[in-house]
Structure 1
Amino acid sequence: MLGPALGILRDRQFRLLFLGRTVSLFGSAFAPIALAFAVLDLTGSASDLGLVVAAGFVPQVVFILVGGIWADRLPRHHVMVVSDLIAGSAQAAIAMLVLTGVAEIWQLVALQVVRGVASSFFFPAAQGIVPQVVSAERLQEANALLGLTRSSTAVLGTAAGGILVAAIGSGWALAFDAATYFLGAVFLLGLRLSRNLTMPEQNFLRELREGWDGFRSRAWLWGIVVQFAFVNAAYVGAWAVLGPVVAEDELGGAAAWGVILAAGAVGTIVGGLIALRFRPERLLLWATLSVIPFALPLVLLSFPAPAVAIGLAAFVAGVGSPLFGVFWDTAMQEQIPADQLSRVYSYDMLGSFVFIPLGAAVAGPISTLVGVTETLVGAATIVVVATLLVLLIEEVRTLRRRGLPDPKP
């Protein structure tokens, strides 16, 4: 099944992009577990953990539009290299603080801000670069393989991260993450992209407006972004902040949480394999339906159900994640002009990320006020309602893959 799809790896440009992303993502899979339990070991506070998680997202809200403009202006692989080096340095500093036993919450927050700034430049460039290294007819395969490597590294990384944190502590896991950022930058440096594919420097506000016009003119685009503004805030706040707390109190700690996350990552591998072969005509309809299962693990975590049951629910949700991601990215790359792609992606990311810091920051206090169970059920409800509402937009239900004829009335 994978033979024809893997043939894209024979292309040097895509292979270097693939390797650079794979190495960095493997290390990054350690980071959520390592950082979460570093904070819990330091203060034991869900609110402190929420602040640290939020600190990584706030700069993305502030700088993501700037990152999109520079990713359209400059060679996108150069933007990615510099971003990797900065993020790796921030993670290395956190690792040193944790390993030497002198870490304080304000230091972790400040360094997560630095990493967040780097991410705000990296992601628009990473999304915009794919059509530059593969042909239009291979976009879905390329997106699926990039998603599949993200899933595969998550399986290995989260499982190994949970074991490593439980065995020798979170500092070494964070140090490993830093090293993989640096190695990933080495692979990306090998890419050779034509400067003709970059945009000449113009007026900053004009470039910003061009990206906004490309974003607001498509109802399917802004509608799904609004959906994910609420879905991401609810899901990240509940899962990333309250999940480790429930695991620590009820499920056995870091090792159990690592197994649950790994089960979700296995689901993303299955979803990625499906995305390699399944080519629906209505990309956005299938993408949206793939989001509904995200609510399942939140509901089971609220009881909490046994770790095995939560892991199975995380697996089902994991299958949906790459299906949404691959179909969404392919639709974006087919529908948006190449010279605007990073800027339009930056508006996508801004809208999708805008409430994540709030969701992460308030998850702990809300759970203290109304209870962990009620907070998790509320988050699951937001995921389902927001997803069903976006189906009211006609283009979400009917937009067809480019190159296919529109159905006759």
Structure 2
Amino acid sequence: MSGNGAAGTAEGRPSFRAVFAVREFRPLFGTYTLSTIGDELARVALTVLVYQRTDSPLLSAFTFALSFLPWALGGPVLATIADRFPRQRVLVVSDVLRAGLVAAMAVPGTPLPVLLALLFAVSLCAPPFESARSALMADVLEGERYAVATSLTNVSLQVAQVVGFVAAGALVTAFDPSVVLLLNAATFVVSALWLSVGLQRRPAPIEPTDEPSSVWRETGEGLRLIGRSPRLVAIIGLLWTGTLFANAAEGIAAPLTDDLGEGAVALGVLLAANPLGVTVGGLVVARLLGTTRAERLMPVLVVLSLAPVLLAGLVALAAGPGRGAYGLVVALLFVAGLGASWTIPLNVAFVQAVPPAVRGRAFGVAVSGLYGVQGLGALGAGLAAERVPAAAVVAIAGGLGLVAVVPPLLALARTRPAVAGRHRTAGPSVS
């Protein structure tokens, strides 16, 4: 592993420069950022397209959620591919497949059911890709370098979402959605090439044995690992519950923006508000607070990630159409994003509690549930918005979330002393 001579911070934490000095981190970081931008371009383009064709909040939310559902339906199984085959090969093949499928989606006049089927197929590539990428991060970085790299990756994710959402709003207004989809396909091509030349070719992590193995057995091992550890149950419970309610409003962003009297560009800005807040909050956590201090502040941050969602829904519901209401809603969602930086110290706690030998499987379980609740939350919000105003659904999500996160927060506090000092090696990112 390289980059040992790079400078660190005054407190001994590695600097961002020290992390980027690790050669293999650069393609893992860069391609993740690039692909995320492309994904958000496609997600907004398809959501707007479906809402324009059907005028249905439920179908619009279903389109937004569809890219998350493969994680819920088969994520833990698909994620084991990252442990069964060379991880660099898994990354490259996944990107090549996604480039071809998204290019097929860009064919003009493609029927809506075919577009949705292709979107689902593209999403099936995500679990093995994300599991392999995260496990490789743990292979090339360790200790505090990994913690800083995780913060950088989380911040990069939010910046990429901001850029993707804002750009998508502008591009959908100016061009046909097919152009936006072709741009997404191009990001996967560039990513595949960069990963092909920028990463070492390592053998598959699982050594061949005389005893037959299967993805089902490995998936079961990951599930049993989580179930046996009260600490991991608490961490994942908080991750899934907080994400479910904090992000549910994304699924009905199109009808909410429409109710506020705004168009496609405003939709992109609305969707970008929360990840922009997470970007700023993540930088504060990474460079000023540190993960230990941030973990002590986690209950405050969790509340900050949900209370503004409740207020945003109430403001939108009371005010109705009007630029004043729209601006205040965007500001509140930005503040909610600041609070959502609680995922960074939670990720470090997850890493410390997971043995390195089962990184891919544990990651697959955690992130499968994470994406699954995002999809289910968006679907639930869309279903509710068929009967009540979208703003009311946003307020309900924020209020219910504030109640639902209390049990996992208490469980996390109870289990903290029991695992002090365990498994402090690098591990996968669950956020």
Letter of the 2:76 counterpart? L
* Aligned counterpart for 1:300 among listed residues 312, 318, 321: 312
* Aligned counterpart for 2:269 among listed residues 248, 259, 263: 259
Output the CA distance in 2 between the equivalents of 1:9 and 1:356: 31
Q: How does 1:209-358 map to 2 (within 5 A)?
A: 209-237=220-248, 239-277=249-287, 278-281=289-292, 284-287=295-298, 289-295=300-306, 296-304=308-316, 306-321=325-340, 323-358=341-376
Richer in helix (by share): 1
Output the CA distance in 1 between the equivalents of 2:357 and 2:14: 32
Deviation of the 1:64 alpha carbon = 1.1
1:134 aligns with 2:141: yes
Output the CA distance in 2 between the equivalents of 1:403 and 1:50: 39
Could you tell me the percent identity over the aligned residues? Answer: 26
Q: How does 1:5-404 map to 2 (within 5 A)?
A: 5-96=16-107, 100=108, 102-189=109-196, 190-195=198-203, 197-200=205-208, 202-204=212-214, 205-237=216-248, 239-277=249-287, 278-281=289-292, 284-287=295-298, 289-295=300-306, 296-304=308-316, 306-321=325-340, 323-393=341-411, 394-395=413-414, 398=417, 400=420
- CA distance change for structure 1 residues 64 and 365 in 2, over 3 Å: closer, same or farther? closer
Question: Secondary structure of 1:30's partner?
Answer: helix
Deviation of the 1:221 alpha carbon = 1.7
Output the CA distance in 1 between the equivalents of 2:139 and 2:171: 38
- CA distance change for structure 1 residues 374 and 26 in 2, over 3 Å: closer, same or farther? closer
Q: Residue 270 of structure 2 contacts residue 330 of structure 2 at CA under 8 Å; is this kept in 1?
A: yes
Deviations 1:360-394 (A, max 9, x none): 33323322324434322221122212222212214
Deviations 1:251-291 (A, max 9, x none): 41111122223333322221221232232336655455433
Deviations 1:201-240 (A, max 9, x none): 6522442332223211221322332344444444444x22
Output the CA distance in 1 between the equivalents of 2:86 and 2:61: 35
TM-score normalized with structure 1 length: 0.87
Deviation of the 1:9 alpha carbon = 0.9
Output the CA distance in 1 between the equivalents of 2:142 and 2:383: 48
- Structure 1 gaps, min length 5: 405-409
Deviation of the 1:163 alpha carbon = 1.2
Corresponding residue pairs, total? 398
Moved more, 170-179 or 394-403: 394-403
Output the CA distance in 1 between the equivalents of 2:300 and 2:231: 14
Moved more, 324-333 or 376-385: 324-333
Q: Residue 282 of structure 1 contacts residue 400 of structure 1 at CA under 8 Å; is this kept in 2?
A: no
Moved more, 147-156 or 282-291: 282-291
- CA distance change for structure 1 residues 271 and 356 in 2, over 3 Å: closer, same or farther? closer
Q: Residue 75 of structure 1 contacts residue 198 of structure 1 at CA under 8 Å; is this kept in 2?
A: no
Q: Residue 91 of structure 1 contacts residue 175 of structure 1 at CA under 8 Å; is this kept in 2?
A: yes
Output the CA distance in 2 between the equivalents of 1:163 and 1:401: 48
The equivalent of 1:407 in structure 2 is: none
- Structure 2 gaps, min length 5: 1-8, 320-324, 425-431
- CA distance change for structure 1 residues 234 and 266 in 2, over 3 Å: closer, same or farther? closer
Aligned-residue CA RMSD (Å)? 2.7
Q: Residue 99 of structure 2 contacts residue 186 of structure 2 at CA under 8 Å; is this kept in 1?
A: yes
Q: Residue 20 of structure 1 contacts residue 188 of structure 1 at CA under 8 Å; is this kept in 2?
A: yes
Q: Residue 242 of structure 1 contacts residue 363 of structure 1 at CA under 8 Å; is this kept in 2?
A: yes
Deviation of the 1:75 alpha carbon = 2.2
Question: Secondary structure of 1:192's partner?
Answer: coil
Letter of the 1:254 counterpart? A
Q: Residue 391 of structure 1 contacts residue 397 of structure 1 at CA under 8 Å; is this kept in 2?
A: no
- CA distance change for structure 1 residues 285 and 126 in 2, over 3 Å: closer, same or farther? farther
Output the CA distance in 2 between the equivalents of 1:68 and 1:208: 8
Output the CA distance in 1 between the equivalents of 2:173 and 2:344: 34
Q: Residue 226 of structure 1 contacts residue 352 of structure 1 at CA under 8 Å; is this kept in 2?
A: no
- CA distance change for structure 1 residues 179 and 372 in 2, over 3 Å: closer, same or farther? same
TM-score normalized with structure 2 length: 0.83
- CA distance change for structure 1 residues 135 and 62 in 2, over 3 Å: closer, same or farther? same
Deviations 1:122-161 (A, max 9, x none): 2222222211011223111111111222222223222222
Deviations 1:58-88 (A, max 9, x none): 2222221122222122222322222222223
- CA distance change for structure 1 residues 137 and 229 in 2, over 3 Å: closer, same or farther? closer
Output the CA distance in 1 between the equivalents of 2:399 and 2:235: 17
Output the CA distance in 1 between the equivalents of 2:99 and 2:343: 25
- CA distance change for structure 1 residues 65 and 29 in 2, over 3 Å: closer, same or farther? same
Deviations 1:73-111 (A, max 9, x none): 222232222222222323222222xxx2x2333122211
